Amino acid sequence: MQGLMQNWPLTADRFLDHAKAWHGDQEVVTRSVEGPITRTTYAEIHARAKRVSNALRGLGVKPGDRIATLGWNTARHIELCYGIMGMGAICHTLNPRLFAEQLVYIINHAGDRIIFADISLLPVLAAIRSQIPVVEHVVAMTDKAHLPAGERALAYESLVERASAEFTWGGFDENTAAGLCYTSGTTGNPKGVLYSHRSNFLHTLAMLSPDVLGLSAVDVVLAVVPMFHANGWGLAFACPAAGTKLVLPGQKLDGASIHELLETEGVTFTAGVPTVWQMLLAHLRESRGKLTTLRRIAVGGSAVPEALARGFRDEFGVNVLHAWGMTEISPIGTVAAPTGATLKMDTEQQYGAALSQGRPPVMVDLTLVNDDGARLPHDGKACGRLLIKGPFVVDRYFGDDSAHKLLDSEGFFDTGDVATIDSLGFMRITDRSKDIIKSGGEWISSIEIENLVVAHPKAALAAVIGVAHDKWAERPILIVKLKPGETGTKQEFLAFLEGKIAKWWTPDDVIFVNDVPLGPTGKIDKKLIRKQFADYRLP
């Protein structure tokens, strides 16, 4: 016997419908690519997104077509997202920080028919235009007055103004594809993750719960994490759903620009990768700035350095909420929110839990296995491969018709991370499986060493990789980028680590470099570092 409830498909367009109906006058603020701060509302975005749907239909777009965006976080980007998905097409967010050859591969692999691009990113497309024959139209996300001289792209505002605001969204199955996002391609070609309306809807409900992001109508959210990074962490869905005031930073993510928006717009919550918050913290210290309304920062993408979390808490009274996830899981998998048990601990123990990757929300299941696939205990000590499953976890990659199964026999996806889980359910990543250093048969966590080193007052960035060793198979070396004007020695950095890690974890060498390469999402690119030091030999 089945239940006798209404059939109400969980499609993402309903978030903006809800926002228009119940908090349509809530403000959405953008630092526009053209320069000025612009202001609109959810009701206005809803009407313009309907015009986008009609404009797309006028260009011959059909349900299932992939429509790409190459843009920063702006109100126009939100309009596009909903206008594309609402008509049953697929919104494919392109990362402008990728190398040209990766962009070419992704666009052709996805079969993008149209690309909407911010004017500052039109040169990126111009450089590869002849290599992406699948693309029929390029639309510049601006008005005619701001089109660069000689630019042949269509003007976004002209398309929107000519289109009707009457369009019926939805009417399709909730498992219909809604969005496409590619992994950053740290190993092999980037892989496409195809989100469904249902997966986005359920992910949003999980995000809004108090033990995850806990957003509400009293919040003002600055969405620093780009919409092209791991599904934009779902903020484009969660904010309209909750009725938060939404602030969008455009392309300016430096410390001074972020600080300005935080203060002028009364931001209470923001989210992004650690590199952004390191820039903000440095700016605040240098300018003696204050944070008068900000209460929480969600940090993900890579592990939160303890010095960063302590800096915001102790100097500015802002809590750092550590989250873990990946493109393949929509992306939030765990959040280090406190529990009744952790609140009974002393301050330092509470801090230790807060710096872990956290606990899974409802609809997420985690397990640890060893190299033989056997389950490992959740005792905080056993370290193994981290597997995950749930309704917003990838089943297979877009365009992958091979017989290779992505999931194991129980439906778990291998995250590629190595982790522990303690008795309270807090998960801690010890390394990526490809980055972990195996020395004499024992594992050394590069992440733990890196997080300690960036607390050194002279260190700007740090990376640890394994290099070949005749006796121990691998040994760690430490690569350090110093802050401007600083000098350092190997002995001083090794002394800084003394007593904080096991002696056999101590790096065999410390190398100072002018720069540490970052990947397209702001993470340290270990692949490039390993390539750079491929011929390195231990002293």
CB atoms within 10 A of CB 499: 7
Inform me whether the pLDDT recorded for 142 exceeds 80: yes
Which pLDDT tens digit goes with each residue over 98-118?
889 889 999 999 999 999 999
Asked if the structure places residue 357 within a domain, the reply is no
- The count of domains in the chain is 3
In this prediction, residue 301 carries a pLDDT of: 84
Tell me: do 389 and 505 sit in the same domain: no
Each residue's pLDDT tens digit, 28-78: 999 999 999 999 999 999 999 999 999 999 999 999 999 999 999 999 999
The answer on pLDDT for 187 being more than 70 is no
Question: How sure is the predictor about 147, in pLDDT bands with cuts at 50, 70 and 90?
Answer: very high
Residues 215 and 128 in one domain: yes
In a domain? residue 405? yes
Choose the final residue of a domain: 372, 398, 432.
432
Q: Is residue 59 part of a domain?
A: yes
- Report the CATH number at residue 187: 3.40.50.12780
- Unique residue bearing structure tokens 């429509």: 67
* Average pLDDT of the segment spanning 368-383: 94
> Which of 432, 459, 487 is at the close of a domain?
432
Structure confidence by residue, pLDDT tens digits, 148-170: 998 989 999 999 999 999 999 99
**Within 13 Å and on the Cβ side, how many CA atoms surround 533?**
25
In this structure, the answer to whether residues 505 and 450 fall within a common structural domain is: yes
SS3 285: helix
CB 417 within 8 A of CB 431: yes
Evaluate whether residue 7 is within a structural domain: no
**Residue 306 confidence (pLDDT):** 87
Pair 428, 464 in one domain:
no
Instruction: Looking at the structure, tell me whether residues 446 and 427 fall in a common domain.
Output: no
Same-domain pairing of 470 and 428: no
Q: Is residue 408 pLDDT above 80, yes or no?
A: yes
Predicted confidence at residue 403, as pLDDT, reads 59
Distance CA 473, CA 538 (A): 12
Q: Decide which of 412, 432, 452 is a domain's last residue.
A: 432
Q: Average pLDDT over the chain, rounded to whole? A: 94
Structural domain including 67 reads: 13-335
Whether residues 376 and 498 share a domain: the answer is no
| Average pLDDT value for residue range 341-347 | 95
Q: Are residues 300 and 423 in the same domain?
A: no
Region for residue 6 given its phi and psi (left: phi exceeds 0; alpha: psi -120 to 50; beta: otherwise): beta
**Between the CA of residue 398 and those of 136, 204, 220, 395, what are the distances in Å?**
21, 22, 35, 10
Active-site residue numbers?
183, 328, 438, 443
Largest CA distance in the chain: 73
- 524/104: higher pLDDT: 104
Q: Are residues 42 and 116 in the same domain?
A: yes
User: pLDDT at position 77, please?
Assistant: 98
Residue 114: inside a domain, yes or no? yes
Token code pair at residue 358 = 């956290």
- Cα torsion 353, 357, 362, 364: sign: negative
Residues 182 and 282 in one domain: yes
What CATH number should be reported for the domain holding residue 416? 2.30.38.10
Average pLDDT over residues 324-348: 95
Q: What is the pLDDT of residues 491-520, one digit of tens each?
A: 999 999 998 888 888 999 999 999 999 887
Q: Which two tokens stand for residue 339?
A: 């529990």
- The domain that contains 446 carries what CATH number? 3.30.300.30
DSSP state of 287: H
| pLDDT for res 512 | 96
Question: Is 38 among the domain residues?
Answer: yes
Q: Are residues 45 and 166 in the same domain?
A: yes
Q: Give which of 119, 102, 331, 67 is closest to 225, Cα–Cα.
A: 331
pLDDT at site 525? 86
Reduced to 3 states, what is the DSSP secondary structure of residue 530? helix
Residue 273 falls inside a structural domain: yes
3-class SS at 39? strand
What pLDDT shows up at residue 524?
86
Report how far residue 449's alpha carbon sits from residue 456's, in angstroms, rounded to the nearest whole number: 11
Inside any domain, residue 2: no
Whether residues 104 and 195 share a domain: the answer is yes
| Residues forming a β-bridge with 389 | 365
**Per-residue pLDDT band at 441 (split at 50, 70, 90):** low
